[in-house]
Amino acid sequence: MPKARTLTAIAADGTSVRALDEGQGSVILILHPGMETGTRYQKVAAMLSARFRVIRLHRRQYRLDLKEDPKLGSPCTVAQEVEHVLAIVRDVGGPVVIYGHSSGGPVALEALMASPSSFVGGVIYEPASVIGQPGALHLAYEAIPRNGDVGEGLKRARAALADGKPGKALAIFTRIAAGWPRWAAYPAGELTALLPAYRRLIPCQIDDLEAMERLGVRLDAYSTIEVPTVVLGGDRSPAPLHETVAAVSQAIPCARRLVLHGQGHAAHVRAPGQVAGAIEAHAIAVQR
């Protein structure tokens, strides 16, 4: 298997952009989910690179070298992440199909709105989009008083990071963002924090949740997307993700909803062929 090349660019604000680049042909740009840097999309990228040029962006929110304090976290905005996306797109040219998973989903959607002429298609997998109005449940399963605010759970996670307890911070995140029971969330958080590669990403994950919450409800804005888009969801994912997939797919006029049977939120790891197949089919369809 050919080794992926390193691709670099400079964003409009002067920050460096990094990505992994493999294959030849029309471009598929992958925006990874939380708690990773794109490496877990290696199998999906390898399958797609037989036919396409596949670029896996190391998302700005997960760039430790761009953090003011990597141990405490310092969130960038979704708009700043979009600048990194567009910097890569400007360098590689088109046509580009953009794919975003989980928190990478809203970044992809915002990129589609920011520069629609840069893309010929979008594939969004269970986006971490806020769909609850003020006073309703948001991403953190909490009632947020005003659109763009953050909940008390996120504040507790920040406090845990300040106390030097990243495992506790991740446990709080897992409870508020994934709905895990306390008895499962806390051991999982502490065990994850024992692994240096993941421990370093925990503040980034907290930053990521804050950026998504502060972006707020964008369903009305999604109605302006005219790029053909597929919204993916696993039939084994939690019910709130089903609701988000439905809301986002209904908000985009040209969107089509597609169910990954037998899969949950981590199909790129458990069934990379299903994910690659969905992306490939859409990329072929929009370039005919």
- Chain-centre distance of CA 52, in angstroms? 21
Say if residues 126 and 105 touch (Cβ distance below 8 Å).
Answer: yes
Residue 140 is assigned to a structural domain of this protein: no
The three-state secondary structure class of 115 is: coil
CATH code of the domain containing 88: 3.40.50.1820
Say if residues 215 and 79 touch (Cβ distance below 8 Å).
Answer: no
* Same domain, yes or no: 118 and 255: yes
Whole-number pLDDT of residue 2: 65
Gap between the Cα atoms of 267 and 233, Å rounded: 9
* Same domain, yes or no: 122 and 29: yes
* Same domain, yes or no: 202 and 160: yes
The residue among 168, 196, 213 that closes a domain is 213
Residue 82 is assigned to a structural domain of this protein: yes
Say if residues 247 and 129 touch (Cβ distance below 8 Å).
Answer: yes
Whole-number pLDDT of residue 249: 97
Gap between the Cα atoms of 186 and 171, Å rounded: 5
Whole-number pLDDT of residue 98: 98
* Same domain, yes or no: 253 and 121: yes
Whole-number pLDDT of residue 57: 98
Whole-number pLDDT of residue 287: 87
Whose tokens are 């980034």? That residue is 204
Total count of domains within the chain: 2
* Same domain, yes or no: 39 and 125: yes
Whole-number pLDDT of residue 152: 81
What single-letter DSSP state applies at residue 102? T
* Same domain, yes or no: 62 and 80: yes
Gap between the Cα atoms of 220 and 49, Å rounded: 35
Residue 137 is assigned to a structural domain of this protein: no
* Same domain, yes or no: 185 and 59: no
Residue 257 is assigned to a structural domain of this protein: yes
Gap between the Cα atoms of 205 and 199, Å rounded: 10
Residue 141 is assigned to a structural domain of this protein: no
pTM (global) more than 0.75: yes
* Same domain, yes or no: 117 and 18: yes
The backbone region for 35, taken as left when phi is positive above 0, alpha when psi lies in -120 to 50, beta otherwise, is left
Whose tokens are 């691709």? That residue is 7
Q: In the structure encoding, which two tokens stand for residue 7, read together?
A: 């691709």
The residue among 213, 233, 249 that closes a domain is 213
Gap between the Cα atoms of 88 and 18, Å rounded: 8
Print pLDDT tens along the chain (288 aa): 568 899 999 999 999 999 999 999 999 999 999 999 999 999 999 999 999 999 999 999 999 999 999 999 999 999 999 999 999 999 998 789 999 999 999 999 999 999 999 999 999 999 999 887 655 545 655 666 677 777 788 889 999 999 999 999 999 988 877 778 889 999 999 999 999 999 999 999 999 999 998 898 899 999 999 999 999 999 999 888 898 999 999 999 999 999 999 999 999 999 999 999 999 999 999 987
Q: Which domain holds residue 270?
A: 5-129+218-286
